[in-house]
Chains A and B, each alone.
Chain A
Amino acid sequence: MFSRRFLVRAAASVVGVTLVAGSLAACSAGGSSSSSGSGGKVTISFLTQNDSQSVATGKKYIAAFEKAYPNITVKMDTQPAGTQGDNLTKTKLSTGEMDDVFYYNDGSLLQALDPDKQLVDLSDQSWVKGLTKDFKQVVSTSKGLYGAPVGTSFAGGVLYNKKVYSKLGLSVPTSWAEFMSNSEKIKAQDPSVTPILQTYGDDWTAQLFVLGDFANVAKADPKWASNYTKGKEKYSNQPALAGFQHQQDTKDAGLYNKDFASVTNIQGMKLLADGNAAQYPMLTASLATVAQNEPSELNDIGFFALPADNAADTQATIWQPNAFYIPKTTTGDKLDAAKKFIAYISSSKTGCKLQQSTGVVTGPFVNSACKLSGSVPAAVTDEQKYFDSGATSSALEFLSPIKGPNLPSITVQVGSGISTAKQGAALYDQDVKKQAQQLGLPGW
């Protein structure tokens, strides 16, 4: 799964968030005594991911919040990210042992938690009106809104080395044909530079050609996502097939690095930052790696959306930040305290500042209460241009609950030449069918 795998490695270092709390069993025992004495101290628990970045961020959030609300104590719990964390989250919710506030993905992964039954509806909260339309959509069902955003959004497209581009006199492509001709020029003019970088040592990175192309699909057919959920659209057909086709085209044209099968994402970001590779279909969230390892080269990296065949369809695909949620098992004083905690971190002045200062900015906030301040990486400035002109769409995983689990392996096959674009797309359609059936969606 793309967003999860990604989160395991990178979100940690992105404007992250995190917290945790003690087990609910322990809490409810303590809770009954505190709720009897109203106005007394309340302790809530907060669950975040267990990587060091998330833990450090969580501690900062708690410290700031407890200072602002001296009557509330927040205890932090942690769990792993990724699919292991997904299963733990489901287990904790179904056994009633979830923390009072927890940090989790939105979009398709949230839908899998059965939010109407499991989570507290937050649509009456004052911060809701400041959320972007796109974000509201990914934390809502027809019955309510369940999450508050933490951190900034990020985009999926092509990260490119600006120095290489200016040295070879290239300009940012807006159509697929221009992108291919740029790549061929790089190959012809400077054989030491990889035109298009691929890093299948981390298989999730192989999905970018397909996932990053989704905004273009949405532009070509605005109803695509909802028809896809109903089982009426397939990846085997255009416009969605284009993503797979582009991956095969670039492979067939011999534009990849020769060690594409074993390089990892972190190694790839270094190759790009150092100018050994010119273009890398990737998420802007991976800039966090560069900020950490090669900070002086961060502004050499620019961003453009994966070009569509037709230049007019080219848009940037946007990933939404994760969110804070409250389970239905949190009630009374604890529920009030949990709501205060969420509002404070998500949209207070201090909260916004913390969200930006604890990681690398990878895109705009989705909450109008928070504004980016100070300098941002060059790639984020490039990304902002797409927002300003309205040429963006959320990634498919936020618009449809269906995301097949085998997309990383399938795109590795297409990018390695093991299968063709058509075969890969057909295989993915089959993979998606299982997910849709598991969710009990009509039409499958």
Chain B
Amino acid sequence: MTTTTTALIPDDVLPARAPSGARRRRMKSMYPSWFYIPAAALFLVFFAMPTFASFYFAFTRWSLFAHTFIGWANFVEFFQDPQLTTGFINTFIYGFVTSAAKVVLGLALAVLLTSPVLGRGYLRAVVFFPVLVSTIGVGLTFKALLDPFHGLINGVLKNVFGITGPGWLTDPHMALLTVAAVDVWKGVGIATLIFIAGIVAVPQEYFEAARVDGAGSWAIFRRITLPLSRPAMGTVIILSLIGGLRSFDLIYAMTQGGPGFSSDVIASVIYKQYQAGFFGLSTAGNVILFVVVTAIMIPVSRLLNGKGAEEE
């Protein structure tokens, strides 16, 4: 995952592009260029070199004691792995489901929490609270709550409503979506916060003018709030999509990719391969994950930022 995080640092920070940028900046910079050397050295040693090393090790069979160069074999292996097919599909389902749910719920909550409701500050804190809790803690807690026979949730369903609850995490068709739902519960606070900031930034005059013209609540939301919070929406989509595509901790804490492989995502497949000692293969997996996330995020980010910029 180091690869991915490092690689998401914007291009213009990479040293390869530095010369032209540095030359231009030197004119106005108040610092001599050697001021940048410590930061550049740290960056090279701890970020750039491991990133390039990982591109090399992705082409080797690597046991920590020795490595052999094997060309594209790791990538071929990775794409033939039946787990990976499931993992890929699951990653997309998970990424898009959580992202879409966070946008819809986040926007709804933000509209509610920017209107004059009772205990607004308290409610905002409540919505944001799950974001502050450790993901592993949330995962283990929900795993206990969702236990099909001894868990609180199915206990309530049975004793209060008389329904036999499903095996939330043990039914192969439900496990992934259950984890996604918990992810939304945990992450919707951030989305709400961003939407609140976006809505609050809309000048009050627009709302007043609309009301004078006789617009109802729906029209105000449809014609003013929604279009003007588009920059916020772009941020939420990008953040939650990246988070969803790379997600690992919650899934691992709740199901470890199970039952069987039914809730495995790319990140958990890579983790399992690393655990099994297939270091070259899992590095290749990380490179693939990096390429995939980048390939999705660059157009998405262009699209969203481009539209946002036009309207400003």
Q: Are B167 and A261 in contact (CB under 8 A)?
A: yes
- On chain B, the residues within 8 Å of A93 by CB distance are 65
Does A221 lie at the interface of the complex (its beta carbon under 8 Å from any beta carbon of B)? no
Contact of A398 with B by CB under 8 A: no
Tell me the chain B residues, 154-180 only, with Cβ under 8 Å from chain A. Answer: 167, 169-172
Q: Contact: A409 with B260, CB < 8 Å? A: yes
Residues on B with beta carbons closer than 8 Å to the beta carbon of A405:
272-273, 275-277
B262: A residues at CB distance < 8 A: 418
A434:B257 contact, CB within 8 angstroms: no
The answer to whether the Cβ of B149 comes within 8 Å of any Cβ in the partner chain is yes
Interface of B is mostly: loop
Stretch at the interface among A82-90, A286-294, A297-305: A82-90
Residue in A closest to B149 when the chains form the complex, CB atoms: A259
The interface-forming segment of A227-235, A321-329, A339-347, A435-443 is A435-443
Q: Which residues of B contact A410 (CB under 8 A)?
A: 260
- Docked-complex contact B258 and A262, CB < 8 angstroms: no
B148 at the interface (CB under 8 A from A): yes
Within 8 Å CB of B281, what residues of A? 434, 438
In the bound complex, do residue B276 and residue A416 qualify as a contact, i.e. CB atoms below 8 Å apart? no
1/0 contact string of A249-277 vs chain B (CB within 8 Å): 00000000011011000000000000000
Residues of B within 8 A of A406 (CB): 83, 261, 272, 276
- Return the contact of A262 from the options B83, B167, B260, B275 (Cβ within 8 A): B167
Q: A262-B149, A262-B170, A427-B82 are in contact. Are A416 and B260 (CB under 8 A)?
A: yes
Contact among B82, B149, B171, B278 with A434 in the assembled complex (CB-CB below 8 Å): B278
Q: Are A262 and B148 in contact (CB under 8 A)?
A: yes
Mark B265-286 against chain A: 1 for CB-CB distance below 8 A, else 0: 0000000110111100100000
Q: A261 to chain B: which residues have CB within 8 Å? A: 148, 167, 170-171, 259
Interface presence of B16 (CB below 8 A): no
Given A94-B65, A435-B276, verify A409-B148 contact (CB < 8 Å).
Answer: no
Residue ID in chain A nearest B80 by CB atoms: A430
Q: Which of A1-60 contact B (CB under 8 A)?
A: 1
Chain A CB within 8 A of B124 CB? no
Nearest A-chain residue to B151, judged by Cβ: A262
Within 8 A of B (CB), among A389-431: 405-406, 409-410, 412-413, 416, 418-419, 427, 430
A91 on the B face (CB < 8 A): yes
Q: Which residues of chain A from 107 to 142 have any CB-CB distance to chain B below 8 Å in the complex?
A: 112, 114, 117-118
Within 8 A of A (CB), among B230-265: 256-262
Instruction: Flag if B275 contacts A412 (CB, 8 Å).
Output: no
Question: Which residues of chain A are within 8 angstroms of B275 by Cβ–Cβ distance?
Answer: 83, 87, 405
B208 contacts across to A, CB distance below 8 A: none
Interchain residue pairs A-B with the least CB separation, the first 3: A405-B276, A413-B260, A261-B170
Could you pull out 8 A-B pairs where Cβ atoms are within 8 angstroms? Answer: A93-B65, A114-B65, A200-B170, A262-B147, A409-B260, A434-B276, A434-B281, A438-B278
**Interface positions of B (Cβ within 8 A of A):** 61, 63-65, 68, 77, 81-83, 147-150, 167, 169-172, 256-262, 272-273, 275-278, 281
